[in-house]
Structure 1
Amino acid sequence: MQITAAGLSKRFHRDWIFRDLTHTFEPGTATAILGPNGSGKSTLLNTLSGQLLATEGTLTYTYQGQLVAVEEVPQLLAYCAPYLELIEELTLTELLQFHTRFKPLRAGLTNEGLIERMYLEKSRHKLVRDFSSGMKQRLKLGLALYAAAPLLLLDEPTTNLDRTGVEWYREHVRATALGRLVLISSNVAEEYDFCSTHLDVTSFGVKPTR
């Protein structure tokens, strides 16, 4: 998946959140979107995903050499953010059965296999509403990381995770990043230290890290 932004800008009322982003996000790369709290990282991520309309500028999506209409982007997108809700009235097994009808898992991975990778075997028949905040975040991450989607967007991915959970995230994001376009909104270095490009929302200075 490739995303090309040209003069991309977003304004709420009279306040500009970001302005004049011109950049091509190449397939097979990982980019960290950086900036202090309230700087517009999540807004930029949501605009790049097509969930928010830009005030100015254009976005072009390309997948396997073909242009992709913005309304088709959700089919190619996996997203994890603390503010996204889970269906808490379902058990873990029921939720996976429902979710994967619309967002299939990567080739060769079963729902049971995902449960094992998330270390949630003892909770497979537990209602999601009874999960701890850390378990819910690991579930959100597992659904995104292991979705068969060429575009992966992560917003503050280690929110609510303890040290063991952070190490789990670091292991599995690296294991699933190859060949995808990965965008991570963060101001915590251990969430994005594997990213090859850093994009500062406050200046849009694109700085390759290696």
Structure 2
Amino acid sequence: MDSTPHGAAVKAQGLGVRGPRGWAFQDVDFTAEPGALIAIEGPSGSGRTCLLLALTGRMKTAAGKARVAGLSLPKKMAAVRAVTALAHVPGVAELDPAFTVAEHLHERALLQRRFGGPVRALLRPRRERRAEARGRIDAALEAAGLDPETLPKGVRTSVRDLERLEALRLSVALALIGSPRLLAVDDTDMKLSDEEREQAWAMLRGLAAAGTTVLAVCSQAPGDALVVSTARRPEKPRTEEATETTEATEASTTGPDEPEGPEGGAENPGAEAAPGTDAATGTEKSTKNEEGAADALAEAGRA
């Protein structure tokens, strides 16, 4: 694996993804230099995984624009996929519990050799190809901090017998075999103890320091990460004076006997409610937004 710093710069402006039942996330803006540690932080259901998939070319955006490694999204999604890798993404890139560590590593190295490199590499002697694959695997395991000798059955240990942090390290190692410029990790701190969480972030911090841009979904970001939040921005509360003025205006305009207009308001029948809000009350529909995120993620899993 090439150890030369080669991380991807990432920039997003007004980025948003929308599913059949609402917005998964909206209005994401940030800029990250190559080799940055980027933490996507937010509550469950706020579109964190959708943002991760969008920035790696696995999910089409509906608003805004982004650039990853100089490639524009959503125009260059295939090219972005070629320079990024996913780790630990449920339903999209996850470990098979029935496979052993060795089987996962062998399968990923084989796929990388056949589909991830130049065609001329397949013409080299088998001994050279195997040596290169072994080198990639060893380098990826070392970078992810996973020593097979410490596992119950070594490389013959089944995924179902791995501890949570060990499974995370294996998933990261598999993604690193392809030498991605951007590594995207989902659910980084889920079900980890405080000590394990520190170890996980230390691993990702080390990868970023070595040159790979790291994009990690989490519930609580470390202090040294570039934090990108998918949390909904609360609406500014109206003052009592403004509320009374609005109510008086509505009463004088509509009147008690005037029939209500069509959806969107009597004065502007063609108006539509803002995405993620109720047309009648203007209150935020968090349930619809969470369903939108789920729909968008399901679409990515079927892609």
Q: In which range does the TM-score fall when normalised by the shorter chain?
A: 0.7 to 0.9
Specify the code of the residue in structure 1 equivalent to 2:17: K
Specify the code of the residue in structure 2 equivalent to 1:12: G
Gaps of 5+ in 2: 1-7, 114-131, 234-303
Residue 213 of structure 2 corresponds to residue 184 of structure 1: no
Query: After the TM superposition, which parts of structure 1 deviate over 4 Å for at least 4 consecutive aligned residues?
Result: 103-109
Specify the code of the residue in structure 1 equivalent to 2:147: Y
Say how many residue pairs are matched: 199
Residue 202 of structure 2 corresponds to residue 171 of structure 1: yes
Q: Percent identity?
A: 27
Give a deviation string over 1:94-123, Cα, whole Å, max 9, x none. 210111233589996544872794133243
After alignment, is 13-22 or 43-52 more displaced? 13-22
Task: Tell me the equivalent position of 1:17.
Answer: 24
* CA distance in structure 1 between the aligned counterparts of 2:229 and 2:194, rounded to whole angstroms: 26
- Closer, same or farther in 2 for the Cα pair 1:161/1:203, shift >3 Å? closer
Superposition pairs for residues 75-94 of structure 1, below 5 Å?
75-81=82-88, 83=90, 84-94=93-103
Instruction: Indicate which of 4, 8, 11 corresponds to 2:11.
Output: 4
* CA distance in structure 1 between the aligned counterparts of 2:172 and 2:191, rounded to whole angstroms: 12
Instruction: Indicate which of 45, 57, 71 corresponds to 2:52.
Output: 45
* CA distance in structure 2 between the aligned counterparts of 1:106 and 1:19, rounded to whole angstroms: 41
Instruction: Indicate which of 43, 51, 73 corresponds to 1:36.
Output: 43
- Closer, same or farther in 2 for the Cα pair 1:103/1:186, shift >3 Å? farther
Alignment check: 8 A CA contact 1:134 1:160 kept:
no
Residue 146 of structure 2 corresponds to residue 137 of structure 1: no
Task: Tell me the equivalent position of 1:99.
Answer: 108
Alignment check: 8 A CA contact 1:34 1:187 kept:
yes
* CA distance in structure 1 between the aligned counterparts of 2:198 and 2:27, rounded to whole angstroms: 36
Specify the code of the residue in structure 1 equivalent to 2:174: L
* CA distance in structure 1 between the aligned counterparts of 2:72 and 2:44, rounded to whole angstroms: 34
Task: Tell me the equivalent position of 2:230.
Answer: 201
Residue 30 of structure 1 and its aligned partner are, at CA, apart by 1.9
Larger strand proportion, structure 1 or 2?
Answer: 1
Gaps of 5+ in 1: 205-210
Residue 162 of structure 1 and its aligned partner are, at CA, apart by 4.3
* CA distance in structure 1 between the aligned counterparts of 2:68 and 2:140, rounded to whole angstroms: 32
Cα RMSD for the two superposed structures: 3.3
Could you say which structure has the larger radius of gyration?
A: 2
Alignment check: 8 A CA contact 1:96 1:111 kept:
no
Give a deviation string over 1:148-182, Cα, whole Å, max 9, x none. 11101122213244455434323322221122222
Residue 28 of structure 1 and its aligned partner are, at CA, apart by 2.1
Task: Tell me the equivalent position of 1:119.
Answer: 147
TM-score of the two chains, using structure 2 as the length reference: 0.55
Residue 71 of structure 1 and its aligned partner are, at CA, apart by 0.7
* CA distance in structure 2 between the aligned counterparts of 1:40 and 1:180, rounded to whole angstroms: 24
TM-score of the two chains, using structure 1 as the length reference: 0.75
Residue 85 of structure 1 and its aligned partner are, at CA, apart by 2.2
